[in-house]
Structure 1
Amino acid sequence: MTPTWIFLPPEACHDLSAELPVMRVTADGSRAMSLAEALADVPAHWQLVLPVEAVTACAVQLPTQKARWMRQALPFAVEELLAEEVELMHLALGEQLADGRHRVYAVRASWLRECLALCAAQPPQAIRVDADLLPRQGSQLLWLRSRWLLGGEAPWRLALQPEHWPVLAGRCPAPHIASAPAGQQLPEAVDEAHLLEDAQQWLVRQHAGVDLAQGEFARRQSGDGWLRWRPLAAVLALCLILQWGFNLAQGWYLQREADAYAASSEALYRELFPQDSKLINLRAQFDQHLAQSTGRDSPLLGLLAEVAAALNAEGAPQVQVNQLDYSATRADMSLQLQAPGFAELEGLRERLEAAGLSVQMGSASREAEGVSARVVIGG
């Protein structure tokens, strides 16, 4: 799609108003009208073309290639090349030249704000300079609005009268190419000449020109507000991903632990009840066996009750059970005990015998934590 272009005349440099005569260029042709008329039904995709007289073009060597630092270095690089204070200028960065320098365009910021204020209802999509739209091959001359525009490979962008060209020709890269409407006298010392029916239409078809809508003059899209929140959204997204990963890892770890406990419980059940060939519901089957054992007045439960009473007798020193083994065949219980001293073990033995239990105590040994001994009850 070919956008609409509005060319401001050189008079715009000192007389900006809604009645300013401009050229509106579309795919159908070029028409002269006032700025207000040109903006009346302008489409969303249109471009504003400034006269080169309002812009200073130069080339500077920048100390960095990083975009953010290049913007910061621009004012210092062009300060000596401008006739006005650099703080008053809007600086736009162009492409890099073959010698490593970058094109820079400077325009008075207050004037550009005034320009854009006239277009506030429908801001332009891009801001170009008429002489900068010329092709980059050699040195290009174009007759437009009663003056020659000079552009091309060289960093400068100028508007000049025919008598000025012979002075500049020797400093401009070859080939020298001039384009003008039929009947316009061509300048001297040119290598090629092209006749144009519509200079503005030809110019916009060159697809050249740096967009000056940079920095504070960059066009704000409707979705630009989202860009301010994008870093925060990225942090939140990262947190969610990390939390999801943590939950996944924790779930995997807990599932492994649960599987290990389930396997251990199944192995213990099969060891206790080898006669059960089918294992459907471990807990239900274990509860069933426990109920059956309780109903038959299991000796194990009786022994456990007597031992618990002796261990927890009032005033009795604390004796710890480290291991318990029960043999249904021998009907006895083996305990691996740990106590502060030999006297505590002897006291426990006496309480068990007083309860009518048969107690056999193996040899006791002293360890760092106290005294340990093996006791067999019943049998």
Structure 2
Amino acid sequence: MSSTLIISLPQLPDDLAATSAADLHCDYQYGDQAWHSANLQQLGQLMQAEPATPTQIDVYLSGVNVLASTVTAPRKQHKHLARILPFLCEEQLAQDIDSLHVVAGRIFADNVTVCAISKRLLSQLLALLDECQLAPSRISSEVDLLRTALQPGQSLLWVDQHCCQLVIAQQAVSLAREQLKYALETLQQQAEANLLLCYDPGSAGPEINLAIEDLKARGTTVIEQPLNHPELSCLQQLFQLELASGAAINLLQGPYASKKSTANTINWRPLALAASVLVGLNLVYSLASGIYFSSQADALHQQSEALYRSYFPDDKRIINIKTQTQGHLSRGQGYSNGGFLHMLHNFIGPWGEYRNQLTLKSLRFNQQRDELLMEIESRSIEQLDKLQSSLGERAELLSANEDGNSVRGRIKLQGSQP
């Protein structure tokens, strides 16, 4: 069920100071319920008794209380629109511009829709709504809501038992039903190529039919929308005909901006909680990873130290394993007493002469026996014999097997241990 409360207020007096919430009549619709009537005080009490308070409160005012018009502003001036807007519609205002709250709406090229309302009236209305705990999410004009139902280049004439609404070129006028003649005359003079006619057939009268026939004769396309429930207000019928698009200008802007959370407002609390949990998990993971990798690093460091001492037992202090090892290798020291490096050094010297002729397939060192076993591929047995001879008396050719066009041999190099 929808939790939006829609409040329709009839024509308000110019000064609400002497009007109490109990004296202010309204029509309202809550959720999917039907429309009801009450005074503002009763409505506030009804909403407080509801199990769940409305998440959004939309208030619509009569077009008599709000000027709905269109002004022309070149696009290059749109960045200064808020400052220049009151002066652009000054000629259309019956009051001093300083006493009015002017708000911009939709923009069509160089044309900007505007709504204006008395600052005093708006402040007094907000005070009454606040007194009834009905803080509105938006306040709009029902005649501006009519404008949102139109296509570009389309005019509107709305006639019911209570009022007459006229919209031409996005300029909106709200009149009493008795002023229909004036609306028809204006329409015949200024109507656009298309006209949306919403009227009560039972009380239309011959003057409407004559004016419509005249417009049709002059090429105006008329789309007729009968109002089958004349007892309903203009706003109620707009919602029933699904002509209320919700794109009407919200007067609660600037200093009157609503501070009440609406249904479209993001609830940051669960997002903040989720972010806190993620940060906590990331912190725990970072700490655990740090402890794990720190222990792994300590283990590797100990293994590196043990391996270094096995090759360079004469070093008493180990400061930097990499630097000290490079120093030993560059000086050719640290392996004079035998071991792997000693035999590798003895092997590399003679090998340099044959490395372009022979291929070293594998190299294995047996620390217990102090011997280096090499598997070598050559073109002939003679090459293996020459390498074995170059390595000295501690080298022994263990085997030599022909493999197609090559010979695979195994040479063992014995260390200095007996």
- TM-score, structure 1 length as denominator? 0.55
**Aligned 1:2-41 pairs, distance under 5 A:** 3-15=4-16, 16-18=19-21, 19-25=23-29, 28-41=33-46
1:194 paired residue number:
226
| Structure 2 CA distance for aligned equivalents of residues 108 and 184 of structure 1 | 33
| Structure 2 CA distance for aligned equivalents of residues 81 and 327 of structure 1 | 98
**Aligned 1:187-336 pairs, distance under 5 A:** 187=208, 188-190=210-212, 191=222, 192-197=224-229, 198-199=232-233, 200-204=235-239, 205-208=242-245, 209-221=248-260, 265-272=305-312
Report SS of the residue matched to 1:139.
Answer: strand
Structure 1 stretches of 5 or more lacking a match? 274-289, 291-299, 305-322, 330-379
1:162 paired residue number:
180
Amino acid at match of 1:195: L
Q: Provide, for residues 275-308 of structure 1, a one-character-per-residue CA deviation record: whole Å limited to 9, x for no partner.
A: xxxxxxxxxxxxxxx9xxxxxxxxx99xx9xxxx
Amino acid at match of 1:107: I
CA pair 41-254 structure 1, distance change in 2 beyond 3 A = same
| Structure 2 CA distance for aligned equivalents of residues 7 and 92 of structure 1 | 20
1:347 paired residue number:
none
CA pair 92-143 structure 1, distance change in 2 beyond 3 A = same
1:136 paired residue number:
150
**The 10-residue stretch of structure 1 (56-65 or 190-199) with the greater mean CA deviation from structure 2:** 56-65
CA pair 174-32 structure 1, distance change in 2 beyond 3 A = farther
Report SS of the residue matched to 1:167.
Answer: helix
| Structure 2 CA distance for aligned equivalents of residues 253 and 60 of structure 1 | 69
Answer whether contact 2:101 2:119 (CA < 8 A) is retained. yes
Answer whether contact 2:227 2:237 (CA < 8 A) is retained. no
Structure 1 residue 95 displacement after superposition: 1.8
Answer whether contact 2:103 2:116 (CA < 8 A) is retained. yes
**Aligned 1:178-193 pairs, distance under 5 A:** 178-185=197-204, 187=208, 188-190=210-212, 191=222, 192-193=224-225
Report SS of the residue matched to 2:204.
Answer: coil
Q: Provide, for residues 75-125 of structure 1, a one-character-per-residue CA deviation record: whole Å limited to 9, x for no partner.
A: 31331412344443323231222x342222121222111111111012123
| Structure 2 CA distance for aligned equivalents of residues 86 and 35 of structure 1 | 30
**The 10-residue stretch of structure 1 (193-202 or 105-114) with the greater mean CA deviation from structure 2:** 193-202
2:166 corresponds to 1:150? yes
CA RMSD of aligned residues (A): 4.7
1:59 paired residue number:
70
Structure 1 residue 159 displacement after superposition: 0.8
2:104 paired residue number:
93
Structure 2 stretches of 5 or more lacking a match? 48-52, 213-221, 318-330, 338-418
| Structure 1 CA distance for aligned equivalents of residues 26 and 261 of structure 2 | 29
Q: How many pairs were matched up? A: 268
Q: Provide, for residues 162-213 of structure 1, a one-character-per-residue CA deviation record: whole Å limited to 9, x for no partner.
A: 1212332132334222323352225353422513303432213323323222
Report SS of the residue matched to 1:157.
Answer: strand
Structure 1 residue 65 displacement after superposition: 9.1
| Structure 1 CA distance for aligned equivalents of residues 103 and 60 of structure 2 | 15
Report SS of the residue matched to 2:202.
Answer: coil
CA pair 327-185 structure 1, distance change in 2 beyond 3 A = closer
| Structure 2 CA distance for aligned equivalents of residues 258 and 64 of structure 1 | 69
Structure 1 residue 50 displacement after superposition: 1.0
| Structure 2 CA distance for aligned equivalents of residues 88 and 256 of structure 1 | 76
2:216 paired residue number:
none
Structure 1 residue 253 displacement after superposition: 12
Amino acid at match of 1:181: D
Percent of residue pairs bearing the same amino acid type: 19
1:125 alignment partner, one of 137, 143, 146: 137
